[in-house]
Chains A and B, each alone.
Chain A
């Protein structure tokens, strides 16, 4: 079975541009979360979606947005990119909301470099 898949794996953008990152959860998983990991630090929570509704939001500016589609895949959008947005963006999926103690699996991430 395929794990959590993310695309693209690497990309380079210029300051001020916009980027869209994509995530396909494990088959049967309905919850997707996004994390940002800056080099040398642990991942930081950005969003969680369950059944296409936002269930949680971390401390990130409004330049960050996300959505979940009927097939449970998800997109993370970042507008007006800053140099500080350079990071590994991780997607995690689980069968249901985190509150039920589900096993949560991460993808390999998308490396974003802003120049």
Chain B
């Protein structure tokens, strides 16, 4: 099962793009990369997911490297409300479970 590695914390200035990296070097060809965030221990909020191609929605963009060993979540214009713990997850094909790591605590500063 693919393990993901994220930096424990990052800061970003309000209005600037936040780029959150994730390493998943052991990901298999049929495992998706999902991103969630969690604010003040509320339920995790879905952001975006992808398999091979880059993806974009109203919240963020997901850039997956060609070899799929890493990805970057981009919040184009971070606001104070984007302060949260962001989780990158490689969906396990064998066990049907989402393996959450420790995530990255993003702090958006004025």
**Interface-centre pick from A4, A41, A104, A108 (highest chain B CB count, 10 A):** A104
Q: How far is the CB of B24 from chain A (nearest CB, A)?
A: 15
Task: Write the chain B residue with the least CB distance to A101.
Answer: B32
What is the interface size of chain B, counting residues whose CB is below 8 A from a CB of the partner?
24
Question: Which of B30, B34, B51, B101 is close to A42, meaning CB atoms less than 8 Å apart?
Answer: B101
Contact in complex: B45, A106 (CB < 8 Å)? yes
With A37-B41, A106-B44 as contacts: A44 and B49 at CB distance below 8 Å: no
B97: Cβ under 8 A from any A Cβ: yes
Taking CB atoms, residues of chain B closer than 8 Å to A97 are 96
Task: Write the chain B residue with the least CB distance to A56.
Answer: B96
Contact in complex: B96, A107 (CB < 8 Å)? no
Contact in complex: B91, A98 (CB < 8 Å)? yes
B17: Cβ under 8 A from any A Cβ: no
A109: Cβ under 8 A from any B Cβ: yes
Please list 28 pairs of residues, one from A and one from B, whose beta carbons are closer than 8 Å in the complex, sorted by A's number.
Answer: A4-B43, A33-B96, A33-B98, A35-B100, A41-B102, A42-B103, A43-B44, A43-B100, A45-B98, A48-B97, A55-B96, A56-B96, A58-B95, A88-B41, A97-B96, A98-B91, A98-B98, A99-B91, A99-B93, A101-B49, A101-B51, A103-B49, A104-B98, A106-B43, A106-B44, A106-B45, A109-B41, A109-B42
